[in-house]
Amino acid sequence: MSSESECVLVTGGAGYIGSHTSIELLNAGYHVVVIDNLANSSPRAIDAVQRITNRSVAFHRGDIRDRTLLDKLFADHDVRAVIHFAGLKAVGESVAEPTKYFDNNVYGTLNLINAMRNAGCGRLVFSSSATVYGDAASVPISESAPTSPTNPYGRSKLMIEDMLRDICAADPTFSASILRYFNPVGAHVSGEIGEDPLGPPNNLLPFITQVAVGRRPELSVFGNDYDTADGTGVRDYIHVVDLARGHLAALEFLETHTGAFTHNLGTGRGFSVLEIVRAFERTSGTTIPFRIAPRRAGDIATSYADSSRAAHDLNWRAQLDLDAMCADAWRWQSRYPNGFR
């Protein structure tokens, strides 16, 4: 059987990055099984994925902490690899309710790993985050930079990373690709799926698109006194479709490599908040009213990736530029002003 006709389990596949990755998997010929409890997503995302690809997804509504369900799923489908997106990701909520994050993210992942090993499935691609670096001493940030997450969400990611490294070291039949994402933005070019946050967006791009579509009056720019060219925070924004393709490259890598591997996925380029606002205005033809607000607690000045290890090992590079990120995010938001809800 060629790898492309393999069955891949996508946890959190109804979510933002999981739905875009499912499209790339289906387009490459993989069979896709999704488990998602819809805690932060809509089944309409799965419908859209099927429509866009003209392929079907085996969707199971359920929780990765439910071992009985996982065992049934591995018994019913010949799952050869897992891409694991399911998790909670709100930094502020994780500070207020840390146990929720350790239960959902850390325990949920352990439960998934146990079910995989029980079923003889030994390849896992895991969604980690650049947040594990905390406030890095220098940029670009490479994988060898010290890890020092500053909140329970970030610590849940690092705990899972450590768990995976230990398990892979002990079990030669189990391998993991740990992908540290920088700032995923944008949407599928069809405009049929995109980022659909519940409540006020925490992240910059969805906030901007909601201002553009009239759902919010103005953007607050959190600080203009950072040590950056224009004083606003600088981040490495990566198109979600590039990110999705990085997962396919990681899957292929695990076909020929055994162990635990860590890769940054970013573009290697930083843009400031004001540069993002201007790029969005230019590509969308809208005006984004904004005011300068105080710094947001916990924010850092500058973060961007050294992605050379992913280029070397995975033969993967981000291809889509900032204009594509903005134009695609806007196509989705203007077509679906209220997202899937």
Within positions 1 to 40, which residues make up the interface with ligand UFG, using CB under 6 A?
A: none
* 202 lies in the site for ligand UFG, by CB under 6 A: yes
Task: Tell me which H or E stretch contains 67.
Answer: helix 67-76
Q: Could you tell which of ligand UFG, ligand NAD, none binds residue 91, using a CB distance below 5 to 8 A set by kind?
A: ligand UFG
CB atoms within 10 A of CB 166: 11
| Cβ at position 220, least distance to ligand UFG in Å | 5
* 277 lies in the site for ligand UFG, by CB under 6 A: no
**Given the complex with ligand NAD, which of 199 and 285 has the nearer CB atom?**
199
* 89 lies in the site for ligand UFG, by CB under 6 A: yes
CB 79 within 8 A of CB 34: no
CB 134 within 8 A of CB 149: yes
Active site residue 101: no
* 142 lies in the site for ligand UFG, by CB under 6 A: no
Q: At what angle do helices 67-76 and 108-119 cross, to 10 degrees?
A: 40
**Given the complex with ligand UFG, which of 43 and 231 has the nearer CB atom?**
231
Task: Give, in order, the Cα–Cα distances in Å from 89 to each of 57, 92, 151, 159.
Answer: 24, 9, 11, 14
Could you say which of 222, 228, 257, 340 contacts ligand UFG (CB under 6 A)? Answer: 222
Q: Could you tell which of ligand NAD, ligand UFG, none binds residue 163, using a CB distance below 5 to 8 A set by kind?
A: none
**Given the complex with ligand UFG, which of 82 and 234 has the nearer CB atom?**
234
| ∠ CA 197-333-90, rounded to 5° | 15
**Per-residue x/- track, 103-122, ligand UFG (CB under 6 A):** --------------------
CB 278 within 8 A of CB 208: no
Could you say which of 26, 34, 91, 176 contacts ligand UFG (CB under 6 A)? Answer: 91
Residue from 16, 153, 304, 336 carrying the catalytic annotation: 153
How far apart CA 139 and CA 305 sit, in angstroms, is 7
Dihedral pair phi/psi, residue 78, rounded to 5°: -85, 70
| Cβ at position 179, least distance to ligand NAD in Å | 8
How far apart CA 53 and CA 27 sit, in angstroms, is 6
Residue 203 amino acid letter: N
What positions carry a catalytic annotation? 153
Residues that bind ligand UFG (CB under 6 A): 89, 91, 129-131, 182-183, 202-204, 207, 219-222, 233, 235, 273, 296, 299
